[in-house]
Structure 1
Amino acid sequence: MTRYIALLALILTLASCKKDKDETTEIPVTTDTIAEPAVLSFDNKIYEKKSTLGKKEPRTSVSIDVPEAVGPGADSINNKIFRTVREIVHFGERPADAKSYSEVMASFVGAYEELTKKYPDEDIAWEAKVDGNIAYQNDSIVNVKLTHYVFAGGAHGYGADTSLLFDAKTGRSIKPDDLFKDKKGFTALAEKKFRAKYNIKGNINSTGLFFLDEKFALPNNIFVTDKGYLLQYNTDEVAAHAEGQKDVLITYNEAKPFQAPPQPSPRGR
C-alpha cells in the first residue's frame, strides 16, 4: 500500500512541475514596447495680451495663433516661425530682442503705453494679430502661412500674408529660390501668366504697377497649394494700397521643367 501511495505522490509532483514550467515560460507579447516612427505634426498655440490703459474699448491688444511643430526638425521650424512673428509684431525701426512670444507682446503693448502716457489726448488703440496655419504638407515639404495685421497709429494698418517653407524631413527652411533649378525660366513663365491675367502689354508698369527698374520679378511669398505655386504680391508690394494683393497661379504641370527637389504634388494635405 505504501508503495502505491509513493507512486501517486510522484505522479502528482511531476504534473505540478510541468504546470509551473508551462506557466513561467509563457511570456505575453504586446505592442506597447514597439517604438512608433517619429512623424512631424502640428498643434496651434494661442498667445494673447491686452493693455490696461485706454479710455474705451477696444483696447490695445495682441493676438498670436501659430502652429507649433512636434517631431523631426521641430526646433528649426518653431524657431523660424517665432523669428518671423517677432519681425511682424513690433513698433519702431527694429524688432525687439524678444526671446519668447510673451516678450514680443509685452514689447508691442509697452510701446503703446509709453506713448499714450506722453500723449494722453491722442489715445488710439493699437492692434497686432497673427493667424497661422499649415497651408500645405506632404512627405517632402511643409508650407506655413501667416496672415497678419498690425496697426500702430497712422492712416491705416497693414495686412499681409507670409509664406514659410520647410523640408518635411529635416525642418530646414526652404527659400523660394530653392524651389526651382531654372529660376530664369520659371520667372519668364510667371511674367507671361501675370501679364495675361492683368492684361498688361508693353512696359510691365504701364498699368500703374511699380516693379523695381520696370522689370518683372517674383514675389517674396510663394505658396504651395494643391493646384500649384501661388505667387502672391502683398498690398503695397507692386501696386497701390487701394488695389490690394496681386497673385498668379502656376500649375505643377507648367512648373515641372523648372522645379527642383523636394517637389510638392497636387495631392497635398
Structure 2
Amino acid sequence: MRFKFLVYTLIISLLSQTCKEEKTIEFKEINVTTSTNKIVEINIPEAFGDEEVSNVINKRINLVIISSLNVGEENSTSSMTVSESIDLFNKEYTTFKADFPESIMEWDAQIDGEIMYQSDEIVSIAITTYLNTGGAHGNLIIEFLNFDVYTGKQLKNEDLFQDYINFTEIAKDYFNEEIAYKKELYFEPDNFKLPENIGFNDEGAILLYNTYEIAPYSSGVTEINIPWEDLQNTLNFL
C-alpha cells in the first residue's frame, strides 16, 4: 500500500512539474505606434507563450505605458489602450500649440523596455520613460517590474526576499559605500530607505533611485548594485 502511495505521489509531482514547464514564457521586442502619431516612440518587450501568464504581464506593462503618457486628468486614462494614449498625447500637444502658438517648445516621448533578468522563477523588466512636455528639461523615469514567471503576477519588493530585514541592512551598507564621498548631494544621506525600484540582472540586485527621490535633479539617477553572493541568504528564489 505504501508503495502505491509513493508511486501516486511521484506521478502527481511529475504532472505538476510538467504543467509548470508548459507555462514557459518568452519575450519579443515590439514597436507601438498609430497612423497619426508623430512624437511618441515606444519599444517594449511583449510576452508570449503561455497565454494566461503572458496576458497578465503584458497588461501590467501596458498600464505603465499608458500612465507614463498621461499628462491630463489621471482618471481619464483608466480604460484606455496604449494606442489611444499615444493619440491622446499627440492631441494634447496639438492643443498646447494652438493655445500657445508663439511657443517654440516641442513635445516628445520615448519609452523603452528591457528584459534585465529572467530565470525559471522570475523575470525582471526595466521600463525607461523620457517625457518632454515643454518644461525647462525633460523628465526621465525608470521603473522596475518583477514578475512571477509561473503566474504572471507582479511581485512586490517584499515578495522577492525571505529575509527583508537582512536585505535592508545589506543594501544600507552598499548605499553608504556608494555615496560616501558625495553625501552633500543627497537630501537625507543618513536616513536610509530602500527605493521603490528593486530589480535584478546577471550580476545581482539593482537598487535604483529616480531623480528627485533622494537627491536633486542635477544628481541624476542613483544606482546601487549588490552581487548575487551577498544575497544568497535573503532571496525567495535562486
TM-score by length of 1: 0.73
Residue 77 of structure 2 aligns to a residue whose secondary structure is coil
Given the alignment, which residue of 188, 211, 217 partners 1:241?
217
Report whether the alignment pairs 1:225 with 2:224.
Answer: no
**Could you tell me which amino acid in structure 2 is paired with residue 75 of structure 1?**
N
Against the structure 1 CA distance between its residues 76 and 252, is the aligned structure 2 distance closer, same or farther, given a 3 Å change threshold?
same
Matching residue of 1:44: 29
Q: State how 1:1-269 maps to structure 2 within 5 Å.
A: 37=22, 39-49=24-34, 61-72=39-50, 73-92=53-72, 94=74, 96-199=77-180, 207-211=184-188, 215-260=191-236, 263-264=237-238
Matching residue of 2:3: none
Instruction: For 1:218 and 1:38, locate their aligned partners in 2 and report how far apart those are by CA, in whole Å.
Output: 32
Instruction: For 1:220 and 1:38, locate their aligned partners in 2 and report how far apart those are by CA, in whole Å.
Output: 28
Deviates more, 1:77-86 or 1:96-105: 96-105
Instruction: For 2:173 and 2:91, locate their aligned partners in 1 and report how far apart those are by CA, in whole Å.
Output: 47
Gaps of 5+ in 2: 1-20
Instruction: For 2:22 and 2:56, locate their aligned partners in 1 and report how far apart those are by CA, in whole Å.
Output: 19
Against the structure 1 CA distance between its residues 49 and 235, is the aligned structure 2 distance closer, same or farther, given a 3 Å change threshold?
farther
Instruction: For 1:112 and 1:258, locate their aligned partners in 2 and report how far apart those are by CA, in whole Å.
Output: 47
How many aligned residue pairs are there? 215
Instruction: For 1:209 and 1:137, locate their aligned partners in 2 and report how far apart those are by CA, in whole Å.
Output: 33
Instruction: For 1:145 and 1:223, locate their aligned partners in 2 and report how far apart those are by CA, in whole Å.
Output: 8
Deviations 1:11-54 (A, max 9, x none): xxxxxxxxxxxxxxxxxxxxxxxxx94531112221135878xx
Once the 2 structures are TM-superposed, how far is the Cα of residue 98 of structure 1 from its aligned partner? 4.6
**Could you tell me which amino acid in structure 2 is paired with residue 229 of structure 1?**
A
Instruction: For 1:240 and 1:126, locate their aligned partners in 2 and report how far apart those are by CA, in whole Å.
Output: 23
Deviates more, 1:109-118 or 1:96-105: 96-105
Once the 2 structures are TM-superposed, how far is the Cα of residue 211 of structure 1 from its aligned partner? 4.3
Q: Does structure 1 retain, via aligned residues, the 8 Å contact 2:23–2:150? A: no
Q: Does structure 2 retain, via aligned residues, the 8 Å contact 1:48–1:63? A: yes
Once the 2 structures are TM-superposed, how far is the Cα of residue 123 of structure 1 from its aligned partner? 4.3
Instruction: For 1:79 and 1:49, locate their aligned partners in 2 and report how far apart those are by CA, in whole Å.
Output: 19
Instruction: For 2:56 and 2:151, locate their aligned partners in 1 and report how far apart those are by CA, in whole Å.
Output: 8
**Could you tell me which amino acid in structure 1 is paired with residue 27 of structure 2?**
F
Residue 231 of structure 2 aligns to a residue whose secondary structure is helix
Residue 122 of structure 1 aligns to a residue whose secondary structure is coil
Once the 2 structures are TM-superposed, how far is the Cα of residue 221 of structure 1 from its aligned partner? 1.0
Instruction: For 1:106 and 1:193, locate their aligned partners in 2 and report how far apart those are by CA, in whole Å.
Output: 43
Instruction: For 2:139 and 2:84, locate their aligned partners in 1 and report how far apart those are by CA, in whole Å.
Output: 22
State the identity as a percent.
30
Q: Which structure has the greater CA radius of gyration? A: 1
Instruction: For 1:199 and 1:223, locate their aligned partners in 2 and report how far apart those are by CA, in whole Å.
Output: 23
Deviations 1:128-178 (A, max 9, x none): 111112111111111111121001111001112211110111111111121
Against the structure 1 CA distance between its residues 134 and 68, is the aligned structure 2 distance closer, same or farther, given a 3 Å change threshold?
same
Q: Does structure 2 retain, via aligned residues, the 8 Å contact 1:221–1:231? A: yes
Deviations 1:176-199 (A, max 9, x none): 121112222211111111111221
**Could you tell me which amino acid in structure 2 is paired with residue 90 of structure 1?**
N
Q: Does structure 2 retain, via aligned residues, the 8 Å contact 1:136–1:226? A: yes
Q: Does structure 1 retain, via aligned residues, the 8 Å contact 2:66–2:80? A: no
